[in-house]
Structure 1
């Protein structure tokens, strides 16, 4: 079993708030494809990283889905789609192999 996490920014690269409809669309797509979703969206998480000598910060929500198999090709395409929709250079999508207890 795989746990797939999507780190979605609340603001684009020009610091403009992204519309709620984008997040609703992603939620709907993931629920339809994977049968469920967990959203960490009440208090945005903060992401920090170094870009040359500057520290860059993002406010994010995290969506998680579980899948029996991992279709890397589908996820690569979906990540590219999300990067376009959310006007980002890169959106982090990561996976962990998990066992259900």
Structure 2
């Protein structure tokens, strides 16, 4: 939320999009307590991606989301339900993925 006016929500960071058609990117999400780590499932392909919010260089104070590591794939890499539930600890260090 806008900390000054407390009346509107403002996006933080760049937009994040899925990579493939029908991957159902964003079906489930989890956000760390401070909002710096985002876990996003793409259940159509049985995978999860983890992103960290990074401050961009420069003076404009902007941020962008960067993927941390490769995609995390379920055992079959497809229609096995992997990513139907996701979670992240408050500190953003540990994630959990359910099927």
Give the structure, 1 or 2, with the largest relative contact order (CA under 8 Å, sep 6 or more).
1
Indicate the structure (1 or 2) with the bigger Cα radius of gyration: 2
Q: Which has the higher strand share?
A: 1
Q: Could you tell me the TM-score, scaled by structure 2's length?
A: 0.30
Q: Could you tell me the TM-score, scaled by structure 1's length?
A: 0.30
Q: Which has the higher helix share?
A: 1
